[in-house]
Structure 1
Amino acid sequence: MQPPERLCGDDSDSPATDLAARRQAGVAAGEPWWKSAVIYQIYPRSFQDSNGDGVGDLAGVLQRLDALVALGVDAIWLSPFYRSPMADFGYDVRDHVSVDPIFGDMADVRALVRGCRQRGLKLIVDYIPNHTSDRHLWFAESRSSRTNPRRDWYVWRDAAPDGGPPNNWLSEFGGPAWTWDPGRQQYYYHAFLSCQPDLNWRCPDVVEAMLNVMRFWLDRGVDGFRVDAIHHLMEREDLADNPGNPLWREGMDPADRLVRAGTVDQPDVHAAVSAMRRVLDEYPGEHVLIGEAYLPLERLVTYYGSPDAGFHLPFNFHLMSTPWTPTAVAALVSAYERQLPDHGWPNWVLSNHDRSRLVSRIGGSQARVAAMLLLTLRGTPTLYQGDELGMADVDIPRDRVRDPLEINVPGLGLGRDPARTPMMWSPERHAGFSSVEPWLPLSPDWRDLNVQNQAAQPGSVLRLYTALLALRRAEPALSLGDYHPFAATDGLLAYERRLGTARLLIVLNMGARPERIEAPAGQVVMSTQGEPVGTHAGGLLQVAAHQGLILRLA
């Protein structure tokens, strides 16, 4: 590992905004930056290609930072850019403390850290503790013999009496979760691809090595980590079979045939999370630890741990699977708020690189309402690149499929390529993403729904996101205020955000017909449909189909 390399940066030559002004609500309240922040997820392969190879890179991210400042986000989260064979596009890590040449080099990391500092942006990077590539030096040594010093760094087990796998566990990407290694004459466990062997976090040397990975990137100036697949980090030591899933039917994900009782959400995981938090606490300033765990709410909230030992933000993905109705969303918000620990700060996600895009799930007519919901609920929201343009899933021809999940389990719609297509920047060739054909096909509407065009159109989805983010910064009640339910009908969802004497009422029509709601007097400060704002005298408020309104109450 190289010696520490502190990159404090200098905000004095910021080309865009003043950091203190952009975070005035959070600073004024003395809260950590991540509470009032809006996080923007970047999938680097598809964000901006700077060198003409059809794949996005770190220099491309730096090139587009000013566009993110103009949008109004506070932090960027980068999906993996580490050295990798790219069997799972970076989640099969060959070296956790390096940069894959396809994305650049460490000089590009330094430039990106400096560029973020200058613009008042925080930088969050992916941390992948559960597994490595089978080409990692650690795995090469571990599989070389049962006497190698790293023999216990991965999860190895003898064959069952019949010579088969030790138990019935299944891989998330199809097939058994165990692969036979003829050299070592044992099976190794892999929650994902067979070329992604799971690390053994019960081995103290593994724990220390992976915590040193965090220190490496903290020394280089990152502001936090999104921890990948944290609920997979430990497995049952007794290797008991997973029970069958009585709800599984043909046509569903094959990995769901079994209930993951022994392979996810094990009690030991929380000690590992505490160790990660202690590393962050070694460093001055405010850093954030975000956990990826697809779990029921009652289990998800346990990952907050104690105030100084859990995740700051265990990712809440439940909006992506909850029916898009006012009553269902209201029930979700209330259940989440009720189950949060006293020190827990909520967060919300509507899209990411692993799930179908927002527009494809709920329809384009509701995209604006969804934007208003995400950016006005209590908690830290995360945007996925392209949602601010209204991007939809892209049909991927069979000969262009790249996702190993779709290749291994075809025909079930599990593939993630449709949500990972390149960002659309301009009406120029290849949408301004690259000078050559991109690694995945562009959305067919790239000539119209790109950043350049939408920035010039007052009624565009991009302009709505920009206005919502500006309002969120200007109104501390939206970034840090309390949540108070107001109404949930068949068509309308309404709630208040309150801070001190400030009260904002958000009214969302989640249906295709006009609705009315009894509302207090107030000033209409924003509409998703771009109409002139005005005064509501109190009484029945008219809300058009697919419209969202924000009122500042008298």
Structure 2
Amino acid sequence: MSRQHPAAPSAPPSPHAASPHAAAPGAAHRDWWRDAVIYQVYPRSFADSDGDGMGDLAGVRSRLPYLRALGVDAVWLSPFYASPQADAGYDVADYRAVDPMFGTLTDADGLIRDAHAQGLRIIVDLVPNHSSDQHEWFKRALAEGPGSPLRDRYHFRPGKGARGELPPNDWESVFGGPAWTRVPDGAWYLHLFAPEQPDFNWEHPAVGDEFRTILRFWLDLGVDGFRVDVAHGLVKAEGLPDIGTRDQVRLLGNGVMPFFDQDGVHAVYREWRTVLDEYAGDEEPAAASAPGRPRRTGGRMFVAEAWTPTVERTARYVRPDELHQAFNFQYLSTDWDAGELRRIIDRTLDAMRPVGAPATWVLSNHDVTRHATRFANPPGLGTQIRTAGDREQGLRRARAATLLMLALPGSAYLYQGEELGLPDVVDLPDEVRQDPAYFRGAGQDGFRDGCRVPIPWTRTGPSYGFGSGGSWLPQPSTWGELSVQAQQGTPGSTLELYRRALRLRRAEPGLGAGDAVEWLRAPEGVLAFRRGEFVCVANTTGESVTTRSHGRVLLSSGDEVTEADGEAKVPADTTVWWAMT
């Protein structure tokens, strides 16, 4: 689900002590997720096995060797549950079933088993804030009418006005328009997103009971973790009070709202953590380890999609008895600017250190404009951009931003196709769009389809190797040269840059571990930090910059680095990795 982006008011520190699970570089064992590189697969756009134009689980399963060769540690699957697809599967009708468009439970089981055989872990999306309006609970609640006990599992309320014709409060949907829909018997129900996505009432014990059984269902099937959708939204303020403004979308993420980031959500996650802790994981398969790299323990994990005003509030979700990770949306929304990047890096590490949680770093996902397009446009436009911008500049900066991200301590998330340097498709015809926010005509921009176009595998073919029957969203005619086939083995390609970077990240002891960086002096517009005998230098300016040489160049995101007399010339918008020994 797409969220608006946060500003930076202060927040109180966490009362919890540092996690006993915090691992230091060089530890003999550490939890696998603390420094993992996790690859997001958007199943409908990854690989189509049956030629119907829609990606599926069998398609993902067939491409696992590619992900293994890329060098990632785990795969996060966006929703594949039974769903009417009003919001690309984030409207779940049955949490224990696979939608036929993606396959069967047998396909899911086979995918998990094959991934483990490849040394890859599997994380699945969990959508606890709302269900589909086709969920059995909601259908029965409507059919049984006022007084049905099932209505208590959602937020049904009488309307205001002489005849109840007005919504119960002034809340607006994130997708635009009122957050309430009236049913034929006169009652209203709450949906923070589309009307087809009624919000659960997490004050009702049956909701918590149901989700604990859902967790166990997928854990018993072998999944290694869950990405928690709208993790900040489950609990609403008592009494559902008015907000008092009609400009609520602008406020999202900029303060504590009565329907987001309420303190009560943390009790939910403390209960969930006890469930995950029942499932002691094995050590990673030999296929996933690398010479000189500490063995990493199994264990299951949660990662929260928690849009909060500050990283300090985000840290509350990853206290030792709650979730394990939370997406760093403040970092994702930071412009390509050395000062701003250093500020959010420091603030993130400082916020996570007291709770013993690893930082996470992410540049793209299924809800925002791909960073190759964001960085192709002027700063300050946000994360939903409608123009292609300077493609060459955008790709150069995207490659540099990736190397910077992969050099930081913590876990990194990649979005499918970014390893190919794919841009957003900003010129999709209106008639092919499927983002519900687009049709609501307000709220979010509704241009998320541009980052969801199926990825290209081959230079030619009806859908560049995605499948034999075309693709559910049209691919640009230029994508053949961005395909895996075109880039594989090609020196300097973005795909080979990612592969080399991930190999080096595995080979460098402790590169992803730890919770701090040592900043080095650098020219204005340049970031330089040291981690042991490793140095990363990122030039965010549009000009080449002369700086100190730091030893042996391991990798450069751009043109060759020239060195002489202890100095190095780093090209414009380029990140360089050095080994000091």
When the two structures are superposed, what TM-score results if normalisation uses the length of structure 1? 0.89
Q: Who is 1:276 aligned against? A: 272
Amino acid at match of 1:376: A
Q: Who is 1:522 aligned against? A: 551
Amino acid at match of 1:463: E
Aligned-pair distance for 1:232? 1.1
User: Which of 446, 452, 468 is the matching residue for 2:501?
Assistant: 468
Separation in 2, partners of 1:327, 1:209: 46
Separation in 2, partners of 1:141, 1:282: 33
Q: Who is 1:549 aligned against? A: 576
Separation in 2, partners of 1:536, 1:97: 61
Separation in 1, partners of 2:29, 2:253: 48
User: Which of 283, 298, 302 is the matching residue for 1:289?
Assistant: 302
Aligned-pair distance for 1:409? 2.1
Q: Who is 2:340 aligned against? A: 328
Instruction: Say which is worse superposed, 254-263 or 193-202, in terms of deviation.
Output: 254-263
Q: Does 1:301 align with 2:329?
A: no
Instruction: Tell me if the contact between 1:327 and 1:488 (Cα under 8 Å) persists in the aligned partners.
Output: no
Q: Who is 1:486 aligned against? A: 520
**In structure 2, do the counterparts of structure 1 residues 412 and 192 end up closer, same or farther at CA, with 3 Å as the change threshold?**
closer
Separation in 1, partners of 2:468, 2:316: 47
Aligned-pair distance for 1:385? 0.2
Instruction: Tell me if the contact between 1:171 and 1:255 (Cα under 8 Å) persists in the aligned partners.
Output: no
Q: Does 1:71 align with 2:70?
A: yes
Amino acid at match of 2:437: L
Instruction: Tell me if the contact between 2:49 and 2:56 (Cα under 8 Å) persists in the aligned partners.
Output: yes
Aligned-pair distance for 1:178? 1.0
**In structure 2, do the counterparts of structure 1 residues 27 and 132 end up closer, same or farther at CA, with 3 Å as the change threshold?**
farther
1:114-133 alignment runs, 5 A limit: 114-133=113-132
Separation in 2, partners of 1:364, 1:412: 26
Instruction: Say which is worse superposed, 146-155 or 25-34, in terms of deviation.
Output: 25-34
Q: Who is 1:261 aligned against? A: 257
Instruction: Tell me if the contact between 1:242 and 1:260 (Cα under 8 Å) persists in the aligned partners.
Output: no
Q: Does 1:513 align with 2:543?
A: yes
Amino acid at match of 2:224: D
Q: Does 1:497 align with 2:497?
A: no
Q: Who is 1:372 aligned against? A: 403
Instruction: Tell me if the contact between 1:491 and 1:515 (Cα under 8 Å) persists in the aligned partners.
Output: no
1:75-474 alignment runs, 5 A limit: 75-143=74-142, 144-162=144-162, 163=164, 164-183=166-185, 185-244=186-245, 261-285=257-281, 286-295=299-308, 296-305=310-319, 307=320, 309-340=321-352, 341-362=354-375, 363-394=394-425, 395-409=427-441, 413-429=445-461, 430-474=463-507
* Alignment gaps of 5+ in structure 2: 1-23, 282-298, 376-393
Amino acid at match of 1:209: E
Percent identical across equivalent pairs?
43
Amino acid at match of 1:469: L
Aligned-pair distance for 1:523? 1.6
Separation in 2, partners of 1:28, 1:62: 33
Separation in 2, partners of 1:61, 1:228: 21
Cα RMSD over matched residues? 2.2
Aligned-pair distance for 1:37? 1.3
Separation in 2, partners of 1:47, 1:474: 28
Amino acid at match of 2:137: W
Instruction: Tell me if the contact between 1:174 and 1:255 (Cα under 8 Å) persists in the aligned partners.
Output: no
**In structure 2, do the counterparts of structure 1 residues 26 and 112 end up closer, same or farther at CA, with 3 Å as the change threshold?**
farther
**In structure 2, do the counterparts of structure 1 residues 289 and 412 end up closer, same or farther at CA, with 3 Å as the change threshold?**
closer
Amino acid at match of 1:375: L
Aligned-pair distance for 1:320? 2.2
Aligned-pair distance for 1:509? 1.2
**Greater relative contact order (Cα < 8 A, sep 6+):** 2
**In structure 2, do the counterparts of structure 1 residues 195 and 258 end up closer, same or farther at CA, with 3 Å as the change threshold?**
farther
**In structure 2, do the counterparts of structure 1 residues 310 and 167 end up closer, same or farther at CA, with 3 Å as the change threshold?**
same
Amino acid at match of 1:497: R
Q: Who is 2:287 aligned against? A: none
Aligned-pair distance for 1:117? 1.1
Instruction: Tell me if the contact between 1:128 and 1:227 (Cα under 8 Å) persists in the aligned partners.
Output: yes
When the two structures are superposed, what TM-score results if normalisation uses the length of structure 2? 0.85
Separation in 1, partners of 2:358, 2:494: 28
Tell me the SS of whatever aligns to 1:66. Answer: helix
Amino acid at match of 1:55: M
Instruction: Say which is worse superposed, 63-72 or 161-170, in terms of deviation.
Output: 161-170
Tell me the SS of whatever aligns to 1:382. Answer: strand
Tell me the SS of whatever aligns to 2:520. Answer: strand
**In structure 2, do the counterparts of structure 1 residues 258 and 116 end up closer, same or farther at CA, with 3 Å as the change threshold?**
closer
Aligned-pair distance for 1:254? 7.1
Tell me the SS of whatever aligns to 1:160. Answer: coil
Separation in 1, partners of 2:147, 2:442: 40
Aligned-pair distance for 1:157? 1.4
Number of aligned residues: 515
Tell me the SS of whatever aligns to 2:124. Answer: strand
Separation in 2, partners of 1:32, 1:168: 44
Tell me the SS of whatever aligns to 1:98. Answer: strand
Aligned-pair distance for 1:36? 2.4
Aligned-pair distance for 1:301? 1.2
Instruction: Tell me if the contact between 2:437 and 2:443 (Cα under 8 Å) persists in the aligned partners.
Output: no
